[in-house]
Amino acid sequence: MNSAVLSFKTTHPFDGTETGVRADSRDTWQTPGILAAIERACDRIAPVWPLQQFVAVNPFLGLSERSFGDACTFSARMGQGEMLMPASFYAEHYRSGRIEESDVRQALQLAGSSMSLEQCLSLLHEASGQDFGLTGKRWQTLAEHLDAMRGSQWSVLITEEISKWCAAYFDQGQSAWRMPWRGLPLYAAWRRAAAFDRTPELAGLSAFRQTINALPEEPIEAITQILTEMGLPSARLDDACHRQLLTVAGWSSWVCYKHWQTSPEKNQDALRQLLAIRLSYDYALISAVASRQDVETWRGHWQDAPLTDTDTGVALEVRHIMQSAYELATQRPLFEKLASALASTGPWQAQRKNLQAVFCIDVRSEIYRRALEMQSHTIETLGFAGFFGFPIEYIALGHHHGQPQCPVLLKPRFRIRESVTDADVGELRGILEKRWLRKRLNRLWKGFKNSAVSCFSYVEISGLSFAGKLLSDSLGLTRPVVKPGIAGLDKAIVHRIGPVITRQRGRLIAKGPVVETGIALGDRIELARKALQGMSLTDGFARLVLLCGHGSTAVNNPYAAGLDCGACGGHSGEANARVAAAVLNDREVRAGLAAQGLTIPKDTWFVAGLHDTTTDEVRLFDLEQIPHCFGEDLLLLQRWLNQASQLTRQERAPGLGLPRHDAAALMKAVTQRSRDWSQIRPEWGLAGNTAFIAAPRQRTYHFEFDGRVFLHNYDYRQDSDTAILSLIMSAPMVVASWINLQYYASTVDNRRFGSGNKALHNVVGTIGILEGNGGDLRTGLPWQSLHDGKTLRHEPVRLTVVIEAPAEMIEQVLANHAEVRQLVDNHWLHLTRIDPLDNHCYRYLQPQHWQAVTDSGKES
């Protein structure tokens, strides 16, 4: 170890002992201050899920202990990204009348600012002609400092190099040749690879391989040695480490995800290793490039100092106030609707319904729910989390493990396997063997096509035979690739596949381990009870109850999974809907529920469905299991769904640039759009989301929210112990906030929080995308998912949460859930409530302090 330090000192341009810390002391490797700084830096990184399991993530997750205003300053100074729009954006909305003077006054009041309205508007006018963000200097790595001083490109080189090695290390089957050191920890694998890589030396980092080889083999020891030699102030070590990780922010987020569901300790260990790699490059710059003066100047920038100068701080304050005013302007029409008096009659007051349809709270369901309710006054729709309260791992036919079908904040509790209805053991074995054979042949064929030896001869010999397929795919007549869930299966078999909910033991694949699948009766009863209570559906059951999940149809789109569901790991709600319906139709489950006082009528049947949010078609499942006595009800349901689908497509058509007058032509157009492999906007996803409402449906039934609101059914009168409200605020509300903040961040600073131009995307390792052929792993949403080429399709506003419940119940949940209280108290979302007694809206300011909102949306 001493030789490593001596080797460093022979080329180091300054003596590390100037800081008062002995660089060659083993004790410094265990310095609590350095270790704590590393942990704090790693805690600020938010995870990012792989493309196939895309999850909308709050990119500010690691900053949630700060107030939103403080985080805006910190993020900009750290170089993490801008969290506010430029001043010109707010000035334009003020000039157009979207933001009114009353909104600015109220924003100043809520912020506790001493600034007058006139001062704020004057400063806004001055700032609107300035640059996008802070004018002060950002904290920099040594590479960034050298680039700024000398006009070099060390930062780009380092990011490219780290990204290259991370892509090889984490590859999940895309590359034909795999890194030989993947079995080693990340830092160790990188050191082995770096011993053969001459790229840094060719770029000017002399003796790079020898320098890296001289570093300690353990990442913590390497980090500690490098930080000690750099001599940065101890008060800034966490920020310095954070800044290092942000130069490879995408890969930092990926590494954070890798162990998200294992243990925090392993999660931190993986990030430490990436941090050691990044610091090693600055270490090499000190040895080979930077002068003593360079290092001392850079170190001086990290000395304790105010984050911003006075002028910059005032400009940032103005933008923050105008962001709040912009959000108040967005809230105004919402509060005007919610404050309206309830209609004297409504579908909830009619006699027994013919249909109750439970949809996911996803904002895209809001339009379809209105269209369906228009078909008859005997229809009632409800909003509930799209996994329907069944946290399962769903194992597809012929697989030995499955994917989690629940929000990432939860863990699957049960394994559900697929099987073929009415198939005996022999037929099932034959189906599985045929599927495995087809999949193996497909892999071999794909390997042959992509092989370095055969790829050119393959094109020469077989190219013309694919002309017909290329033409039909290009015209949207066929799907370029088969859906993974049905690959290798005959069409007749696909319609017979379904979940098995009963408890079983057996092998899922030949020679595989014996595993338990299904759900025990006691658990099925408990899941059914909690699901119905969460839906506020414990009595007044209709003859048919539709459990309608949602999914999306898109091809040649790396973000296709993100259009399925932004919460449930990029999976559609089909599996959950089918499992939930099967459980709720189970006679034994119904008997168990009746024993607990929850009776489902004998003439009620639960039907599973899936809403395709691209084509707005609804597909029903397991129809052959529905008793014949529901035949007429089922025909009526299918007619209602067809009519609702037409209305929904017509409402969405203008936003997609499609004609809306011809139903048949519109259906054809959206279907072709879903199959078009050149389509960068198959649908708008959750763009435009602004609010989350937890209230009875009658509160929102009469209003159009234009697909911008998450609607969750909640009746506080059925929640005496606040258990349901606790679940709503700690799970669906938090998930909605994650989705909202991902869209928000990708809009305000797409370069750092988004993924840029979708047309330039290249998939890397099947885990993420690069914009172009290099650079950091990109996170967030592409610009085409937020902007239609002329205007923003997503307004950058924080989520407005509206709950109909007494203040005491909401405050009790906040008191019991620190993370939820943090979101509210630090203004990452706006919490309001509807008082069930006086029908007025109140804004949460602090415990036991709610401010009334008038009918015009302004505070009284």
Give the residue ranges of the annotated binding site for Zn(2+).
360, 362, 550, 565
807 pairs with which residues across the strands? Answer: none
Q: 641-645: long-range contacts (C-beta < 8 A, 24 or more apart)?
A: 641/372, 641/609, 643/371, 643/375, 644/368, 644/371, 644/372, 644/374, 644/375, 644/618, 645/368, 645/371, 645/616, 645/617, 645/618
Long-range contacts of 478-483 (CB under 8 A, 24+ apart): 478/675, 479/555, 479/675, 480/555, 480/556, 480/675, 480/677, 481/555
- What DSSP element (H or E) covers 631? helix 631-656
Beta strand spans in 249-395 (E): 355-360, 379-384, 392-395
Residue 219 CA to residue 150 CA, distance in Å, equals 30
Per the listing, tokens 């990340």 go with 186
Q: How far apart (Å, rounded) are the C-alpha atoms in residues 256 and 701?
A: 42
Task: Give me the sign of the Cα torsion angle 245, 246, 252, 253.
Answer: positive
At which residue do the structure tokens 């919610």 appear? 338
Binding residues, by number, are: 360, 362, 550, 565
E strand or H helix that includes residue 505: strand 504-507
Longest Cα–Cα distance of the chain, Å, equals 89
Q: Per the structure block, which two tokens stand in for 740?
A: 């909202």
**How far is the C-alpha of 246 from the C-alpha of 79, rounded, in Å?**
8
Q: Could you tell me how many helices (H) and strands (E) the chain has, helices first? A: 33, 19
Rounded Cα distance between 781 and 750, Å, is 8
DSSP one-letter string for 233-246? -GGGHHHHHHHHHH
Whether the Cβ atoms of residue 70 and residue 832 lie closer than 8 Å to each other: no
Note whether 406 and 412 are within 8 A (CB).
yes
Q: Is the sign of the CA dihedral 58, 62, 67, 72 positive or negative?
A: negative
CB 562 within 8 A of CB 683: no
End-to-end Cα spacing for the chain? 68
Report the distance separating Cα 220 and Cα 230, nearest Å. 15
Q: Can you tell me the distance from the alpha carbon of 803 to that of 727, in angstroms, rounded to the nearest whole number? A: 13
